[in-house]
Amino acid sequence: MEPLELLVVDCPETFIGIVIETLGSRRGEMAKMVNHNSGRVRLEFRIPSRGLIGLRSQLMTDTRGTSLIHSLLEGWTDYAGDMASRSPELLFRTARAFPPLMRIWGIQERGEMFVARASPL
């Protein structure tokens, strides 16, 4: 058994696809979609509570800070299965100076890193 949340996302029409894709990978099921022809769409999903971990920051990034997100506990459901694994990120830096090692140490777990020598002027 796991908690089930009702998640409401209000976002611009241009971001419907990425919102649906992101929530689908987190076991969210769309319950309702309302378009008031104002340029924004309201999407309602039923999603396991564990699917909400880290979701707000991901949606804010994906929708460029334009989405509104609200959730509330709706009830209980059976275990929905494993969540999709996170795809690896590519991290790079485009600066002339080499970043301090402490910065590299802090981000190395987030993805694959490439460090190249900076070209002279």
CA gap 52, 93 in Å, rounded:
30
The ranges assigned to domains in the chain are 2-77, 88-121
Q: Reply yes or no on whether the pLDDT at 121 is more than 80.
A: no
2-77 classified as CATH 3.30.70.240: yes
Q: Reply yes or no on whether the pLDDT at 112 is more than 80.
A: no
CA gap 49, 5 in Å, rounded:
6
pLDDT at 47: 95
- 49-101 pLDDT, tens digit per residue, is 999 999 999 999 999 999 999 999 999 988 878 877 655 555 555 555 555 56
Q: Which tokens go with 15?
A: 């971001």
Which stretches of the chain are DSSP H helices? 16-25, 55-62, 101-107
- 3-53 pLDDT, tens digit per residue, is 999 999 999 999 999 999 999 999 999 999 999 899 999 999 999 999 999
pTM of the full structure? 0.68
Contact 110, 40 (CB under 8 A): no
CA gap 13, 73 in Å, rounded:
26
CA gap 68, 58 in Å, rounded:
12
**CA atoms within 13 A of residue 87's CA, in its CB half-sphere:** 6
**CA atoms within 13 A of residue 31's CA, in its CB half-sphere:** 12
Q: What's the full length of the chain, in residues? A: 121
